[in-house]
Amino acid sequence: MISDLQIPFEAEKALSFCAYIKRHYRIPDNHIINVGDEVDQLNGGLYPKDPDGHHTPNSEIVASKEAIRKWGAVFPEMMLCISNHGMRWIKKASAAEIPSQMMRTYQEVLNAPDGWRWQHEWGFKNLKHPFRVIHGMGYSGMNGHRTAALDAGVSTAIGHLHSHAGISYITTSGLNIWGMNTGCLIDVEAYAFKYGKDLRFKPCLGASVILDNGRLPIWLPY
């Protein structure tokens, strides 16, 4: 499971790191999950832009397309969660009263591989230990992954909350489940993340695997 990349502001060795995990654990192409925020879409956000930032809206999209081309060569199939950064341009268009039928799909804008598919939630129910993956919108804090699992009553993996990677096991009221936050794989020095310079908790860089029919989540630090 690939954590928040926020392309084109991903960590320098994020691709080689995830490629190594895929090889090491012998993960098939069709078992790759991306928790969302695969692109940053900084210029699509509603927040003030850094005057020293070097990307225009167009150049950011061009850089994102080039990065996704490289990721697609290693990961031709991917299950991606719809996420807040992925929806930035859509939300801006909606605020400008542009109808959805005038918008293009992720695949068209980013030249994403045909094997990349987006959903709000990916559920894996036909396992001995079922689990689901969502981006994590609506959750916050160091226990966001735990709360997400309790809300659903099933083991749950999230991203979104960069500073709180880890796994929490929960046994209560007949439940024996886990919650996992898979962290992120951003370049913490990129100008897109200046807002986090003074935050107490810094981003936890890493990715994860889920083994043994959903029983064993493992977080792997970058």
Name the E strands within 140-187. Answer: 155-158, 166-172, 175-181
Residues 136-151 pLDDT 10s: 999 999 999 999 999 9
Residues 38-75 pLDDT 10s: 999 888 887 788 888 889 989 999 999 999 999 999 99
Kindly indicate the confidence band of residue 104, based on its pLDDT and cuts at 50, 70 and 90: confident
Output the CA torsion 136→138→144→148 (10° steps): -70
Query: Where in the chain are the domains?
Result: 14-221
**175-181/121-124 β-pairing:** unpaired
Highest average pLDDT, of 97-111, 153-167, 182-196, comes from: 153-167
Query: Is the overall model pTM greater than 0.75, yes or no?
Result: yes
Residues 106-123 pLDDT 10s: 788 899 999 999 999 999
Whole-number Å distance between alpha carbons of 85 and 157? 18
CATH C-level class of 14-221:
alpha beta
User: Does 204 have pLDDT greater than 80?
Assistant: yes
Which strand (E) or helix (H) includes residue 211? Answer: strand 206-211
DSSP 8-state class, residue 50 = P
At 1 the pLDDT is 97
What is the percentage of the chain residues whose pLDDT exceeds 70?
100
Region of 138 please: left (phi>0), alpha (psi -120 to 50) or beta.
left
> How many C-beta atoms lie closer than 10 Å to residue 70's C-beta?
11
**Residue 173 has which token pair?**
């009221």
User: Does 156 have pLDDT greater than 90?
Assistant: yes
User: Does 90 have pLDDT greater than 80?
Assistant: yes
**115-119/77-81 β-pairing:** parallel
**166-172/155-158 β-pairing:** unpaired
